[in-house]
Amino acid sequence: MLYPIFSKTRSMYDLSGVWNFKLGEHDPGKKLSSGEVMVVPTSFNDVVVDKDKRNYIGDFWYERFLDIPQINQDQELVLRFGSVTHAAKVYVNGQFLGQHQGGFTPFEIVIPEHLHQDGQLQLAVYANNVLDYTTLPVGNYSEEVLEDGGIKKQVKENFDFFNYAGIHRPVKLVVRPKIHISDIIITSHLSEDLKKAEVRVSVETSAPVDKVEVLIYDQEKNKLGHIENGKLEIENVCLWEVLDAYLYTARVSLFKDGNLIDTYDEEFGIRSVRVDNGQFFINEKPFYFKGFGKHEDTYINGRGLNEAANLMDLNLLKEIGANSFRTSHYPYSEEMMRLADRLGIVVIDEIPAVGLFQNFTAALDISDKDHGTWKLMKTKDAHEQAIQELVKRDKNHACVIMWVVANEPASHEEGAHEYFEPLVQLYKDLDPQKRPVTLVNILMATPDKDKVMDLVDVICLNRYYGWYLEHGDLDKAKIGLKKELLDWQALYPDKPILITEYGADTLPGLHSMWEIPYTEEFQCDFYDMSHDVFDTIPNLVGEQVWNFADFETNLMILRVQGNHKGLFSRNRQPKQVVKTFKKRWTSIPNYHNKKNSVK
Ligand code: BDP
């Protein structure tokens, strides 16, 4: 789905701001009379302040009025939502216009022409934050009968982050031609010496046109040529490199009867990605991932778009010598993906497939018994939709180098292989760039028990030796970690291994002489131990820390006002360990052949 931009033929109005708001039932045919207001975009939870409202589960409503711009008969008006978490229905002047399920991907709704006449429009958005065994993420849904006979809906998160909800990303009113560019698909193929690229662009339109023209510009806006028979060869190509991005532009224009009817600029980078012989190649060089699992999580905004925080996070990421992050555990905003493209930051792109594990309450149940997860979950449809929508949205991003099919599912339980095989295949079928696909493996699904890693290209592991396993005993942790990594390497000698999570909760300011968990010293020792092991495994192609920053979670025995495994606090102040990381990561090159450097 195309990101909303201005062009000669397209304009848009930002509908951000203060909207009317109500938690609970509402008839969209009437005016919202709650007297409450909410900011768009943001999570409502922390902003409402009241405790019961913060934890509210169920339906909620937004409303605003807008004067519509005058448009001509060849144009249409579109409401475009970056994301509404987790479900939305859109009404204009009381008329239901469309809906979307899934809280992390964009959707758009055309406003029918008969409503344009009404002058001022009443826009009402229904949202709902219920999660259950049919949704992604997966939640444990229940209803409690209250003393007064009322029903209180509850969702116990089946994952370790707060279930923030609301209109999380921008809402735009887009004016575009009725006959318009509906999609642009860009792929490129590099010559062996990486000097030439064959760029292929295909364009989808909402209706047939006489001519589709695609001009390619370099980053300095010089015209390089146009796409002929679907392709253009670029000589002396400037590659999109890690931390050294270069973005070309494809300017797509549609013509009818010799007139320009729509035009759209899509930026793209040229790079190759490939997995081979236990290594991960970007631009044919073995790449080493240094970085983070993150969250969209800031004070006040919750999971709502916070572009300043996004930029600060990526600046901190670069400052510490990292080069990558994973969009754990859901697709991040389009704004973040565009920023990563520009800054040359490598992204592992994940759908909200988290909680596919019956009875998962963060880290409390680490037994390997079969809970019957795959009989219980009814997530197949939501899972397919999430993959389709993510690939449709992010396929042209150079920063995206791998797709994640799920985070920490019960991949050791009966039925996991059957569940995941078609989903991995779906990614492969849909992605025009044929990027590698992975699944992020949970600590119980050790090489002897896991049933799915044969399906994926990279062995991504979340491992907590020294924290959830051998808690506080780093000597034993070291032995366990090394043994397991060697076992994975022996089982899949051709697949690279990537550590996608490792970490220890740490409260800044807490100190000890004696390797006591939660202290800043322990966090340093934990990472030193882990790195000693990582550096001995030839197929281990990278390390992504859990987490970039502390973040908000559900209430749980193991959580002290949230998860504290961040290298930075929630307000982005460094913990002691940041210095250690900066030293390590600035001395590990982004590209190097680990196989040659490890004896
Ligand atoms: C893993 C999850 C992550 C948690 C983390 C932890 O992938 O979402 O926050 O461990 O327990 O289970 O800190």
pLDDT digits (tens, 9 = 90+) for 205-231: 999 999 999 999 999 999 999 999 999
Query: What token pair was written down for 352?
Result: 């909200």
Choosing from 329, 354, 408, 443 the residue with most ligand 1 atoms within 8 A of its CB, the one to mutate for a pocket test is: 408
Residues 102, 393, 246: CA angle, nearest 5 degrees: 145
DSSP letter string, 469-528: BSTT-HHHHHHHHHHHHHHHHHH-TTS-EEEEE----B-TT---SS--TBSHHHHHHHHH
Distance 239 CA to ligand 1 centre (A): 35
Q: Please report the pLDDT score of residue 364 as a whole number.
A: 56
Cβ atoms 481, 463 nearer than 8 A: yes
Catalytic residue among 266, 267, 501, 543: 501
| Residue whose C-alpha is closest to residue 121's, from 155, 157, 97 | 97
150: Cβ–Cβ under 8 A, 6 or more apart, which residues? none
Distance 383 CA to ligand 1 centre (A): 20
Catalytic residue among 296, 334, 389, 408: 408
Ligand 1, closest atom to CA 328?
Answer: 8
27: Cβ–Cβ under 8 A, 6 or more apart, which residues? none
Question: Stretch 573-588: mean pLDDT, rounded?
Answer: 98
pLDDT confidence bin for 497, thresholds 50/70/90: very high
Render pLDDT for 53-78 as a digit per residue (tens, 0 to 9).
999 999 999 999 999 999 999 999 99
Whole-structure pTM over 0.95, yes or no? yes
Render pLDDT for 20-38 as a digit per residue (tens, 0 to 9).
999 999 999 999 988 999 9
**What one-letter code names the amino acid at 84?**
V
pLDDT at residue 362 is higher than 50: no
Q: State the Cα–Cα distance between residues 384 and 353, nearest whole angstrom.
A: 10
Cβ atoms 197, 269 nearer than 8 A: no
- Whose tokens are 């991932």? That residue is 289
Residue 546 host element (H or E): strand 540-546
Q: State the Cα–Cα distance between residues 363 and 369, nearest whole angstrom.
A: 14
pLDDT at residue 365 is higher than 90: no
Ligand 1, closest atom to CA 408?
Answer: 7
| Residue whose C-alpha is closest to residue 496's, from 440, 450, 462, 542 | 542
Query: What token pair was written down for 113?
Result: 């022409």
Q: State the Cα–Cα distance between residues 144 and 564, nearest whole angstrom.
A: 31
Rg of the chain over Cα atoms, rounded to whole angstroms, equals 25
State yes or no: cis peptide before 4, omega within 30 of 0: no
Q: Please report the pLDDT score of residue 366 as a whole number.
A: 67
State yes or no: cis peptide before 329, omega within 30 of 0: yes
Q: Please report the pLDDT score of residue 378 as a whole number.
A: 97
Question: Stretch 502-513: mean pLDDT, rounded?
Answer: 97
Q: Please report the pLDDT score of residue 306 as a whole number.
A: 98
Q: Please report the pLDDT score of residue 157 as a whole number.
A: 93
| Residue whose C-alpha is closest to residue 349's, from 6, 104, 588, 39 | 104
pLDDT confidence bin for 170, thresholds 50/70/90: very high
pLDDT at residue 150 is higher than 80: yes
pLDDT confidence bin for 428, thresholds 50/70/90: very high
Q: Please report the pLDDT score of residue 594 as a whole number.
A: 87
Q: State the Cα–Cα distance between residues 201 and 185, nearest whole angstrom.
A: 6
274: Cβ–Cβ under 8 A, 6 or more apart, which residues? 280, 281, 284, 436
Question: Stretch 252-272: mean pLDDT, rounded?
Answer: 98
Distance 160 CA to ligand 1 centre (A): 6
Q: Whose CA is nearest to atom 9 of ligand 1?
A: 160
Distance 347 CA to ligand 1 centre (A): 19
Query: What token pair was written down for 388?
Result: 């389709």
| Residue whose C-alpha is closest to residue 32's, from 67, 61, 68 | 61
Q: Please report the pLDDT score of residue 599 as a whole number.
A: 64
DSSP letter string, 157-199: ESSSS----EE-S-EEEEEEESS-EEEEEEEEEE-TTSS-EEE
Query: What token pair was written down for 30?
Result: 């009437």
Annotated catalytic residue 501:
yes
228: Cβ–Cβ under 8 A, 6 or more apart, which residues? none
| Residue whose C-alpha is closest to residue 531's, from 465, 449, 473, 437 | 465
Ligand 1, closest atom to CA 443?
Answer: 12
Question: Stretch 507-534: mean pLDDT, rounded?
Answer: 97
507: Cβ–Cβ under 8 A, 6 or more apart, which residues? 518, 519, 560, 564
pLDDT at residue 118 is higher than 90: no
Render pLDDT for 277-307 as a digit per residue (tens, 0 to 9).
999 999 999 999 999 999 999 999 999 999 9
Torsion over CA: 3, 329, 351, 47 (sign)? negative
| Residue whose C-alpha is closest to residue 403's, from 343, 446, 458 | 458
- Tell me the pLDDT of the chain averaged across its residues: 96
- The binding-site residues of ligand 1, defined as CB within 6 angstroms of any ligand atom, are 159-160, 329, 362-363, 407-408, 462, 501, 546, 563, 565
pLDDT at residue 308 is higher than 50: yes
Q: Whose CA is nearest to atom 4 of ligand 1?
A: 160
Q: Please report the pLDDT score of residue 371 as a whole number.
A: 82
Question: Stretch 231-250: mean pLDDT, rounded?
Answer: 98
Q: State the Cα–Cα distance between residues 520 and 537, nearest whole angstrom.
A: 27
Cβ atoms 42, 168 nearer than 8 A: yes
Distance 43 CA to ligand 1 centre (A): 22
Choosing from 546, 551, 557 the residue with most ligand 1 atoms within 8 A of its CB, the one to mutate for a pocket test is: 546
Strands (E) located in 70-191: 75-81, 84-85, 87-92, 95-101, 107-110, 120-128, 139-145, 151-157, 166-167, 171-177, 181-190
Question: Stretch 541-559: mean pLDDT, rounded?
Answer: 95
pLDDT at residue 187 is higher than 70: yes
